[in-house]
Amino acid sequence: IAVGPDDALWFTEHRAHRIGRIALDGKVEEFTVPTAECGPFGIAAGPDGALWFTETAADRIGRITTDGRVTEFPLPATGAYPSAITAGADDGMWFTLNQADAIGRIGMDGAVTLHPLPTRSAAPVGIAAGHDGAVWFVEIGAGQIGRITPDGGITEFPLPDRTSRPHAITPGSDGTLWFTEWAGNRVGSLTPDGTVTVHDLPTPGSEPHGIALGPDGALWTALEIGALARVGVRVRTQQSNEQRGNEREC
């Protein structure tokens, strides 16, 4: 799901092979994608005023205008399973190719570039633009967080638990990247210098999936047990020698 330039929410219907739009008054519209059984999945607003989405079963990237016109762009790969997508700082759309172990970029002119990952069977899924001008992603198959620069330079950061199955990633308000560990029952953070911290969730087996920064400055994650978890960001401030340190939740 993504916020569109028209202030409506746009979402993919993976099994119905449609793109949906819901306005603030609750009115819902649905738009059929031209390619049958294409399996739309990730969606994000682009710099051109349209929404861009992935077609997992058709090896295509789609573009839909706010009035419902759809254009599709074939990828130079077969069985690649394009998954999540995000707008980069370079005015391109960046996406993960889960089965091709690669990160892709499509420009507003439809030109596609693929960047193979150094790690085999990395199976990237979630992807998000960072505050540093790079794009960050998770490797669910390798237990790593990846970073790719606009020129295609890739850095990988192994997680303490390589079997944790990281699934989604989003930047926090201070530039720290936050991610879910689906199999590890944790939410983790990664600073731009590569420092990883993980936080256990209180309910065992909750299977965290998506994650997003909320308007309250906290991180919110969707759990497969049918609940949402809020992760408050704690900031420690140093007071005078006569005063105790104070910890507050933002």
Active site residues: 209
- How many other CB atoms are found less than 10 A from the CB of residue 31? 16
User: Distance (Å, rounded) from C-alpha 138 to C-alpha 127?
Assistant: 7
* Long-range CB pairs of 226-230, under 8 A, 24+ apart, other chains included: 227/203, 229/187, 229/201
User: Distance (Å, rounded) from C-alpha 246 to C-alpha 250?
Assistant: 13
Distances (CA, A) of 28 to 8, 13, 31, 35, 202: 10, 13, 10, 22, 36
Q: What token pair was written down for 152?
A: 């295609």
For the chain, give the number of residues. 250
Q: Is 249 exposed, middle or buried (0-12, 13-18, 19+ CB in 10 A)?
A: exposed
Q: Is 190 exposed, middle or buried (0-12, 13-18, 19+ CB in 10 A)?
A: buried
